[in-house]
Structure 1
Amino acid sequence: MKDVVIGINSVIVGSVVIGENTIVRIGAIVTKDIEAQVTVVGNNKLLKSF
């Protein structure tokens, strides 16, 4: 992980891979690998905002 921001109360489940320049918003739940340069909100919902 490089340049990743993880908000408080977020949950990272298991050994997932989080891509570079990714934001995991407050309270998000990550259960799958996340590609680079996205924002994750909720339960693996991605917002491609870059």
Structure 2
Amino acid sequence: MTTNLNVAVFGAYGHTGRFVVAELLERGYAPVLIGRDPAKLSALSSALPGLESR
């Protein structure tokens, strides 16, 4: 599989979003973490360094 395929995950810090992000990482994708709550998004970004967040 090709690496660095970007996929936007809306609500990445939520219950289902975390599962989706983990699965995308296992499959070689580069998820872009997106969410409305800056504090929750920042916490997730800190736990997953190297991923883009918006």
Give the TM-score taking structure 2 as reference length.
Answer: 0.19
- Which protein is bigger by CA-based radius of gyration? 2
Name the structure where strand makes up a greater proportion of residues. Answer: 1
Q: TM-score, normalised by structure 1?
A: 0.19
Relative contact order, higher structure (CA 8 A, sep 6+): 2
